Amino acid sequence: MHPILKLLVQRIALSLLLLLAASAMIFIGTQILPGDVAQSILGQSATPESLANLRAELGLNEPALTRYFDWLFGALQGDLGTALTNGRDIAESLGARLKNTLFLAFWAAVISVPLAIFLGLLAVRYQNRWPDKLISAVTLTSISIPEFLIGYVLMYFISVKLGWFTSVSTIYDSMSLGEKLSAIALPVTVLTLVVLAHMMRMTRAAILNVMQSAYIETAELKGLSMFNIIRKHAFPNAIAPIVNVVMLNLAYLVVGVVVVEVVFVYPGMGQYLVDHVSKRDVPVVQACGLIFAAVYIGLNMVADIVSILANPRLRHPK
């Protein structure tokens, strides 16, 4: 077997194993949450009778291990069960929310990834001169401000004062793509500002690091053109760290944007998860946890695979 193929198979197997472990952790985690599902659903207005009635109905009296395997096999077949709180099919409600989350993450990524790499290259080109310093200063400032604050500031000026875009980003199926894009303009801007700095700095550092190494100098001395140096020598060696940080930020855009969702009233998965956690709706929490874990593990796996494939030393083993 080709060593790269072996590495890839190992890497994918490792991801699956990790996902299985994550599923167990999620299940255990949801079991040890304080409080009681029935109590949380009924809130302050619960009476002992209505609590007992609800607990029996939700099947909370079966052993945990049985429930874990039932859940796992169900999830493998795409059956995530029904929500305890409102009796809806989880796969269906979650699917709609996941679609929204991916929609927002996609457009944020489409804008932020090329922009970050472009700004990174620009910073390298003008290293230690004013464009480099300006780019770094602006992006580092924007990453340092809490995202909800950027959100509120944009909302106040762009939405309340200027009226250019809406402050409420609720999207639904009957909207056209243009309307949807206009609705998510502000959250996309905030997310771009939040993830830009990390990717930009990493691009800058990675390219600078490579450009200073001896083999680039050798390539220059061989008389290769600048384009060929970058294409054949610099880029393959800089791509691994860049892809890594890009994937990390993509994962963040999918799983970590609950604050932005709340501020802009965006119907994504974050808010969906939080609502169900506070109501102890365990099947939904488990389903969301599993999907978030899969996204994280999956994107990291992609990053590693790209690194493996891009690494000349691995592609051409001695």
What is the residue whose two structure tokens read 């207005």?
A: 45
Nearer to other proteins, 68 or 152 (CB): 152
Q: Distance (Å, rounded) from C-alpha 105 to C-alpha 251?
A: 9
Least distance (Å) between residue 107 CB and other proteins: 19
Nearer to other proteins, 127 or 159 (CB): 159
Least distance (Å) between residue 95 CB and other proteins: 13
DSSP state, residue 43: G
Least distance (Å) between residue 166 CB and other proteins: 6
Least distance (Å) between residue 151 CB and other proteins: 8
Token pair in block for residue 25: 């952790």
Least distance (Å) between residue 157 CB and other proteins: 11
- Which residues of the chain form contacts with other proteins (CB under 8 A)? 34-36, 39-45, 47-50, 53-54, 57, 83, 85-88, 93, 97, 152, 155-156, 159-160, 163, 166-168, 170, 172, 262-265, 267, 271-272, 275-276, 278-279, 281, 284
Nearest to 85 by CA among 131, 38, 51: 38
Q: Distance (Å, rounded) from C-alpha 62 to C-alpha 39?
A: 18
Least distance (Å) between residue 259 CB and other proteins: 9
Task: Give alpha helix (H) positions in the chain.
Answer: 3-31, 37-42, 48-57, 64-76, 90-125, 130-144, 147-154, 177-183, 185-211, 214-222, 226-228, 235-255, 258-263, 269-278, 282-310, 312-315
Nearer to other proteins, 59 or 163 (CB): 163
Nearest to 211 by CA among 235, 179, 192: 235
Nearer to other proteins, 144 or 174 (CB): 174
CA distances from 134 to 123, 130, 284, 296, 305 (A): 9, 6, 45, 32, 34
Nearer to other proteins, 115 or 262 (CB): 262
Nearer to other proteins, 101 or 203 (CB): 101
